[in-house]
Amino acid sequence: MVDFSELPGVPCPCGVARRAFADLPDYPLTVHLTEIHLDARTHYHRRLTETYYILECEAGAAIELDGQRQPLHAGMCVVIRPGVRHRAVGRMKILNIVHPKFDAADEWYD
């Protein structure tokens, strides 16, 4: 069990992430509560699959997937497979489910 308010915020390319379950060796993924404060830099992962569940977002928020911008609103869920260039646009709070466990070394920029 985790209380995200008790986890330290870790700077990430788009804001601040609170990452849960990285320390459980028998659990295959991590769950992040991420507050996106600014337009993220386009990046991709070679191994990781991310699933964004949009908790809240400002009007006009979107996600770019391989250059295609898709509008977002609270309650939407997006799967981002390895190799897909992506970035969040606008302020939002998301739950990010990462499989396998998040690895900062698997963040790639063109």
- pLDDT, position 110: 87
- pLDDT, position 40: 84
Q: Tell the burial category of 54 from Cβ atoms under 10 Å away from its Cβ (0-12, 13-18, 19+).
A: buried
- pLDDT, position 39: 73
pLDDT per 10-residue tile (average), the chain, 110 residues: 96 90 96 90 96 97 97 98 96 98 94
From start to end of 1-110, where are the E strands? 10-12, 15-20, 30-36, 49-57, 62-65, 68-71, 77-80, 86-89, 92-99
Compute the C-alpha angle 61/64/65, nearest 5°. 145
- pLDDT, position 75: 98
From the list 41, 82, 77, the residue with the least C-alpha distance to 57 is 77
Torsions phi, psi of 50, nearest 5? -110, 145
Q: Among positive and negative, which fits the CA dihedral 43, 77, 70, 20?
A: negative
- pLDDT, position 38: 78
Structure tokens of 105? 């070394």
- Identify the CATH number of the domain defined by range 9-104: 2.60.120.10
Say how far apart CA 31 and CA 73 lie, in whole Å: 20
